[in-house]
């Protein structure tokens, strides 16, 4: 199964020309993500205004660029409200980045946890929700100090950080 088919076309998309240049050309893993065009209008955007958006390219593999939202977009929520992280990511990165999602458990492990050194920051002793549900009352989370799976009640309040990916 290809990486793209795991989350469908709504999770990965072709980048704009400026994003492609950023991913393939000037950005190294761990570098902030910037773009020179507005994704909705295609109009040129002064990239100096985007320097505080903080999105990070954490992994490039098999034609996929994995991006984590800035730490300022991280929220603490119950599993039922985990999508608030998407709203925060879109608000903070409003001009350059769209199509955020809460990672599945496997995505949170790799590249999320495996590439955590490239995040702008994270809660090392924190637990992070994934979008992976175990049953009606429990879901999978990841403990960032160890990388171990934790099964938690969906009523627990844990960290949530959005991600996105682009193909190149």
Distance CA 108, CA 92 (A): 21
pLDDT number for residue 30: 56
**pLDDT of the chain, 168 residues: tens digit per residue:** 233 323 333 344 444 544 444 333 334 555 555 443 444 444 433 333 333 467 888 888 888 888 899 899 999 999 999 999 999 988 887 756 668 999 999 999 999 999 998 888 898 889 999 999 999 999 999 999 898 989 999 999 999 999 988 776
Nearest alpha-carbon partner for 50 in 10, 75, 8, 22: 22
- How does DSSP classify residue 123? -
**Residue 40: predicted pLDDT:** 47
CA distance 2 to 99: 19
Predicted TM-score (pTM) of this structure: 0.70
Phi, psi of 64 (to 5 degrees): -115, 130
* Domains of the chain: total: 1
Please give the Cα distance from 154 to 146 (Å, whole number).
21
> In Å, what is the CA distance from 158 to each residue of 4, 12, 78, 130?
27, 26, 6, 10
Confidence (pLDDT) at 49 = 33
Closest CA to 19 of 74, 72, 60, 62: 60
pLDDT of residue 155: 96
pLDDT (0 to 100) of residue 165: 86
What is the pLDDT at residue 90? 87
Q: Which domain holds residue 128?
A: 3-167
């Amino acid at each position: 199964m290809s990486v793209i088919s795991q989350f469908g076309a709504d999770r990965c998309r072709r980048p704009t020309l400026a994003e492609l240049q950023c991913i393939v050309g000037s950005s190294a893993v761990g570098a902030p993500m910037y773009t020179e065009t507005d994704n909705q209008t295609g109009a040129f955007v002064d990239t100096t205004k985007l320097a505080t958006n903080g999105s990070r390219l954490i992994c490039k593999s098999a034609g996929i660029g994995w991006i984590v939202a800035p730490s300022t977009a991280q929220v603490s929520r119950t599993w039922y409200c985990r999508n608030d992280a998407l709203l925060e990511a879109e608000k903070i990165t409003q001009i350059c980045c769209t199509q955020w999602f809460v990672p599945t458990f496997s995505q949170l492990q790799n590249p999320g946890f495996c590439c955590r050194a490239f995040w702008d920051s994270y809660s090392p002793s924190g637990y992070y929700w994934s979008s992976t549900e175990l049953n009606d009352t429990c879901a999978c989370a990841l403990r960032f100090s160890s990388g171990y799976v934790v099964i938690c009640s969906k009523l627990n309040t844990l960290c949530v950080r959005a991600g996105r990916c682009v193909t190149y």
